[in-house]
Chains A and B, each alone.
Chain A
Amino acid sequence: MADVIVDAKGLACPMPIVKAKKAIDALQPGQIMEVHTTEKGSMNDFPAWIRQSNHELLEAKEENGVFVFIVKKT
């Protein structure tokens, strides 16, 4: 179960990652963030951002046009 859910549906790049970045900064290490976005660019941008920021991408999936990313803060 996620500690925070970021609903970025309908937001265009760069806002999904801007929002997600704010949310994950407020978490404690080990906590889980779930992000929902409809921005197609997220599929490539999100994993790249997580890699760069050294968090852990637990899952990336698409459900009915919504991209869902589950991230563990390190």
Chain B
Amino acid sequence: MESNAQSMTVEELHRKMETGDVLILDVRNEKDYNDWKIESKQAQSVNIPYFAFLEEDERVYAGLPKDKEIAVVCAKGGASDYVAEMLNNKGYNSSSLAGGMLAWSRFYHPVIVYADEKLKMIQINRLAKGCLSYAVISEGKGMIIDPGKEIEVYLELAGEHRFEIEHVVDSHLHADHITGGPRLAEQVGATYYLSSEEAKGTHLKYEPLDRHDRIKVGDVQVEVLSIPTPGHTPGSTSFLIDNRFLLSGDTIFVGGLGRPDLGGKAKEWAEDLYHTVFFKLKDLPDDCLVLPAHYSDIREMNDRGVVGELLGKIRENNEIMRNEDKASFTEQVAGAASMEKPPNFEEIVAINRGELQVDEERAIELEIGPNRCAVHHHGSHEEEA
């Protein structure tokens, strides 16, 4: 049965997606596809469930090109092998994505945001989840911000860019993915930081962020300024680097603000968010580049593959950022977010609080699915959640 099935790794698929030279054929059922799929600016995606190919019906193949490579995708790679083989037997050029969406959810793509002789900033994009983590590198030392569960990604990065990981930080207690922070810090002997507001009541081993106004990376003047920016969660922290880069966690996104409702106190936290936007971040310059921890729409990624936007542009593009009326701001922000929660968020929070241990298989299962941390998921330009 394996005779005619070619396979493709997630890295190969990603490279081909960037040039648009591939058609993504997702063979999962329609519901799973609509809920969560591989998003691409360049490559087109179609959904034909694998069981449709079991019918001897030529109409199923009608929209598929013979002159373009087809990447067949399913949940784990079994059904895509099956369909890819059927397609190739009919003269199509198709490959099955090895490991399916499961492998895609564990794929991280690093992009250099900025580099000069003193400072290198790398954004590590976990495309399947819309999760962004960062490496701030200077003089052979580095700080990792919001690392995902697959910590080997950061170890490889440290090897490739020749830096030693000194600091590991979580901007907040994540609800949508399992943090790699404590494990990464332990493995490399780095300090793990979290705000004490977030760590309250847990047994996490951490250095309270609120006790460090500045964290030095390397031995030059690249300082990281912690700014408590409550709103998304009470202890959410942003980091300002060199007065030019604002690593904004889940507080400000390219397309809007973080959702304040994941702790059952939407109104209170929305008021915090108001305070953050109109007091704490008010004096940051418009030409400061905002680099968030998440994105929810592929359109938030620029042509270089970086998710980031000048603060001035974000202020300009988001009416809510200019709504200085506190009551209406709070109502809008708290109201917009109250629908769909990130999948399994209660269990994920418990793991990140160190209160629940799960095996790797369960961890992978919990993280499967899209990210739902930004307010504008339910706002004007998304047709449905």
Contact = CB atoms under 8 A, between A and B. Distances in A.
Interface of A: 12-15, 17-18, 21, 41, 44-45, 48-49, 52-53
B235 to A, nearest CB: 36
Contacts of B82: 14, 18
Nearest to B80: A14
B78 A14 contact: yes
B51 A48 contact: yes
Given A14-B79, A49-B51, 10 more contacts: A12-B76, A13-B50, A13-B79, A14-B50, A17-B54, A41-B75, A45-B28, A48-B30, A48-B31, A49-B49
B52 interface: yes
A44 B32 contact: yes
A64 B257 CA distance: 43
Contact of B54 (A12, A18, A41, A48): A18
Interface string B50-90: 11101100000000000000000011101100100000000
A21 B51 contact: yes
A53 B60 CA distance: 13
A48 B75 contact: no
A48 B49 contact: yes
Given A13-B75, A13-B78, A14-B78, A45 B54 contact: no
Contacts of A45: 28-29, 49, 51
Interface of B: 28-32, 49-52, 54-55, 74-76, 78-79, 82
Contacts of B49: 45, 48-49, 52
Nearest to A11: B78
A13 B76 contact: yes
B58 to A, nearest CB: 16
16 contacts: A13-B50, A14-B50, A14-B51, A14-B78, A15-B78, A18-B54, A41-B75, A41-B76, A45-B28, A45-B29, A45-B49, A48-B30, A48-B49, A48-B51, A52-B49, A53-B55
Contacts of A49: 29, 49, 51
Nearest to A17: B51
Contacts of B74: 13-14
Contacts of B30: 48
A52 B54 CA distance: 11
B189 to A, nearest CB: 39
A17 to B, nearest CB: 5
Contact of B78 (A12, A21, A52, A53): A12
A21 to B, nearest CB: 5
A40 to B, nearest CB: 9
Nearest to A18: B54
Nearest to B50: A14
Contacts of A17: 50-51, 54
A18 to B, nearest CB: 7
A54 to B, nearest CB: 11
A69 to B, nearest CB: 13
Contacts of A48: 29-31, 49, 51
